[in-house]
Amino acid sequence: MNHLIAPSILNADLLRLGEVIAMLNESQADMIHLDIMDGVFVPNLSFGFPIIKQIKSVAGKPLDVHLMIADPNRYIERYRESGADYLTVHYEVCEDLAATLKRISGAGMKASVSVKPKTDVALLKPFLEYLDMVLIMTVEPGYGGQEFIETSFEKIRLLRKLIDEAGTGTLIEVDGGIGMDNLEQLRDAGANVFVIGTSIFSAENPLKMISELKNL
Ligand code: DX5
Ligand code: ZN
């Protein structure tokens, strides 16, 4: 399977959001990554339901919604109504992860869990059957433009092994500090989906950068 590119708009020019989405629609991006932050789980605030709904109304790609929020169970169905196609909750804030993942699938979305850099991926083994995707954070969640954490490679290799043994076909998504200089190594380690924000939106020509990343 060719690798998938999920541009994160957190660091895009939000004053020109309509143009940004139009560019992504035209690009080789496979989905649009939306970072939802509540100022509690992470020390930052991003965007809420009204903006997701407006993006959905013009997006030509699936919405990959990454919830960096406390107690995500409060809003699962509302994210579906707002247009989420993939919904990622953080392992660190789920009391009953299996129940949450089943609720996400039941609401008609792809179910995904994210782990922070210090969280062991082996903890996910009992949940793989409920997981369409796992998002491995390769930076501490909360901000775009951070340095890639090198120890992420061994986590990806271990998770790839667990998924292949389980035969669940769960996607591995990686997120934070990714670009032309490390995508291929991450793909070799077993990642399939690449969340990329700064490397795309700080490029001279984001459309061209997405094509280059897609065709590596
Ligand atoms: C950080 C977010 C990332 C970020 C993208 O908490 O989850 O998606 O916006 O990271 P960069 O800008 O490093 O590609
Ligand atoms: Zn993200």
pLDDT reported for residue 116: 98
What's the burial of 51, exposed, middle or buried (CB within 10 Å: 0-12/13-18/19+)? middle
Instruction: Quote the ligand 2 centre to 65 CA distance (angstroms).
Output: 8
> Residue 85: which CATH number?
3.20.20.70
CA 112 to chain centre: 9
Instruction: Quote the ligand 1 centre to 160 CA distance (angstroms).
Output: 22
Q: Which of 30, 85, 132, 175 is catalytic?
A: 175
Instruction: Quote the ligand 2 centre to 12 CA distance (angstroms).
Output: 13
For the chain, 216 residues long, give each residue's pLDDT as a single digit of tens: 689 999 999 999 999 999 999 999 999 999 999 999 999 999 999 999 999 999 999 999 999 999 999 999 999 999 999 999 999 999 999 999 999 999 999 999 999 999 999 999 999 999 999 999 999 999 999 999 999 999 999 999 999 999 999 999 999 999 999 999 999 999 999 999 999 999 999 999 999 999 999 999
Token readout for 144 is 């775009």
pLDDT reported for residue 40: 98
Provide the domain limits for residue 96.
Answer: 4-214
CA 93 to chain centre: 17
CB 88 less than 6 A from any atom of ligand 1: no
**Number of domains making up the chain:** 1
Whether 35 is catalytic is yes
Token readout for 128 is 């793989």
Tell me the torsion sign for CA atoms 69, 31, 210, 52: negative
Whether 64 is catalytic is no
Residue 148 carries which DSSP code? P
Return d(Cα 129, Cα 124) in angstroms, integer: 10
